[in-house]
Amino acid sequence: MTTQTLTPARDAPAPRVTVSPAVRRAVTLTALTLLGLLAGLVGQYLLHLPALEWTGYVTAFLAGGIPAGREALHSLFRERKLDVDLLMVLAALGAASIGQAADGAILLFLFSLSNTLQDWAMGRTSSAIQALMDLNPEGATVRRNGVENWCELGEIRIGDLLVVRPGERIAADARVVKGQTSVDESPITGESVPVDKARGAELASGTVNLNGSVEAEVLRPAGESTLARLVGLMEQAQTQKSRTESLTERWESPYAMIVLALVPAVYALLRYGFGLSVDDSWYRAMTFMVVASPCAVVISTPAVMLSAMAAAARAGVLFKSSAALDTLAGVQTVAFDKTGTLTQARMTLTAVHAHDDTQALALAAGLEAHSEHPIAQAIVTAARERGVAPLTVTDAQAIPGHGIEARLTDGQVAWAGNIRLARRQGATLDAGQQAALSDLGDRGSSSVIVGVGPRVTGVMGVADALRPDIRGALDALKASGVAHRVMLTGDREEVARSVAGEVGLQEFRAGLLPEDKLRLIGELPGPVAMVGDGVNDAPALARADLGVAVASGTDVAIESADVVLMQNDLGKLAGAVRLARAARRTVITNLAFAFGVILIVAPLAVAGRVPLPLGVLAHEGGTVFVVFMGLRLLRHRM
């Protein structure tokens, strides 16, 4: 065993949720619109104060209309297209022109609210990439011509010798030329067990040196390192994902163009075709525009999604956007990382093969108490939980790449480690011990051989513990309608096979690098959700149709994901799928109702069969209906 001096990155606390200035500004303007609307209604209907009435409505029109108007003008003159922003502003002004300022203010508030909800998730790309880049140290100690100097990352060149001390993060891809150590590679590969490194072994940038000091020759500069490649994969994946357009966006411009073209056509038809007066023609045209404005259509999706997201958050599932919730409703394949996702990323003693289990565990615990290696700590913890007192040993000494040895009170040499250490001690395993060692290897467990002098006293297995009731969570996910479940891991084949069998997964891929996971995500039948927790999962989380992270994972994974399981409970994922599908059904119902109202009431308004008060009632009644349908999801239990 070796001595660990640094807690792995996966145990770091989750990052604080930050709100961008753009979102804060949008929330402020929406709140001002609401306050202006309420003040106007109070002044108009309760206190009968014209000054308060018009001050409130003007405030609502300015706070809700100026941002939408600016976006509308930008789309009109820069992108040469009409959108719903322009239609909503004109509808609000049209309502005010026929004495319905309150209706116009309501239109602007609801539209502002929907835009604020959509803006909430913006800006995650840059923060995710920045979190990934933060894994790089500011620099490193470099030896050139026998002289050690501190160099920034940009100054490190191919052929330089990195001097990496215990606890330091490796600054560039390099090859060990002197020394031995163990390295935590979980940020890059997802491997749960620290990897021993000796002369000739390669070190990846972003990984952590756990105990020994080593010198390593730089193979690639920082700009071309493993970590830099991860950043590039993240940028590529985020770009691919941002190209997706929603159905609403595709139909927004055509709908706005049709309505805006119909308003003057309706006025002209009524004025010159049917000979109505100017005032009557204008009144009907404005009523038509108010009724045809897609207020209920626009709020249909946000009302449902906000309610569903609130219900999910109450259950410990955080959706970063309504798009993520909608995507989950259609997911057919869920890919899982292993370490820290299906497992707890915590080593646990799983087996003891000895003539006297208690005596062997006491000896192992006495030896491993002098090491902070994760495997050593698993044995010490198991002895404490089982009430086994560690034997007293002296002169404990870690042997890098082998294990640990010490002396008992009678002077004999006791040891615990791998098969290389057993051979070094001249020990030979009997048939039963050899079978136990092979069985542990087949199951993917790390083996610890314990002995005194040339005599082996026991063989122990240590493995990454599965999350509680993880098999039940995966079965529930299948029952929720997810047809395809697969495990993607950077761990060894035998470890992956063992874990997949224990959790009930029929398909797995092992030995994967981040780019391998990224490629496989694109090959799986979609839509695909990726569930992970480590830095190595970040590109796949971003590339998948939906990224899901557990809250105990790294900052990078949490930033890259679309959904975060705040209680680290994968059992909530099946409930989230059911909620997302209920939300999608509600959205379809809402949209059908909202468009149905427009298609029925708008022609009647043109024909004069629907006066403005009734048109407003139908319009706002439709809005209330779709909001109510959305609020029903607040009662959903996961």
Q: Give the separation between CA 428 and CA 454, rounded to whole angstroms.
A: 7
Q: What's the pLDDT score for residue 130?
A: 58
Name the fold adopted by 344-466: Calcium-transporting ATPase, cytoplasmic domain N (3.40.1110)
pLDDT tens-digit readout, 353-373: 998 999 999 999 999 999 878
Q: Helix, strand or coil for residue 592?
A: helix
Buried-state track 197-233, b at ≥16 Cβ within 10 A, e below 16: beeebebbbbbbbbbbebbbebbbbbeebbbbbbbeb
Q: Give the separation between CA 508 and CA 496, rounded to whole angstroms.
A: 7
Smallest CA-to-CA distance from 532 within 543, 522, 523, 524 is with 543
Q: What's the pLDDT score for residue 240?
A: 44
Q: Give the separation between CA 608 and CA 569, rounded to whole angstroms.
A: 58
Name the fold adopted by 136-234: 2.70.150
Phi and psi torsions of 277, nearest 5°: -70, 165
Buried-state track 578-599, b at ≥16 Cβ within 10 A, e below 16: bbbbbbbebbeebbebbbebbe
Instruction: Give the residues of the chain that fall short of pLDDT 70.
Output: 1-20, 83-84, 114-115, 117-136, 186-193, 225-250, 252, 295, 554, 612-613, 616, 619-620
Smallest CA-to-CA distance from 364 within 401, 410, 394, 405 is with 405
Q: What is the CA radius of gyration of the chain?
A: 32
Residue with tokens 């007066």: 277
Total residue length of the chain: 638
Smallest CA-to-CA distance from 584 within 335, 333, 324, 334 is with 324
Where along the chain do its domains lie?
21-122, 136-234, 344-466
Q: Give the separation between CA 101 and CA 537, rounded to whole angstroms.
A: 52
Q: Give the separation between CA 580 and CA 195, rounded to whole angstroms.
A: 41
Q: Are 36 and 105 in contact (CB under 8 A)?
A: yes
Q: What is the pTM of this model?
A: 0.65
Active-site positions read 337
Q: What's the pLDDT score for residue 114?
A: 65
For helices 101-119 and 84-97, the axis angle rounded to 10 degrees is 160
Q: Quick check: do 136-234 and 344-466 share a fold?
A: no
Q: Give the separation between CA 515 and CA 530, rounded to whole angstroms.
A: 14
Phi and psi torsions of 395, nearest 5°: 55, 40
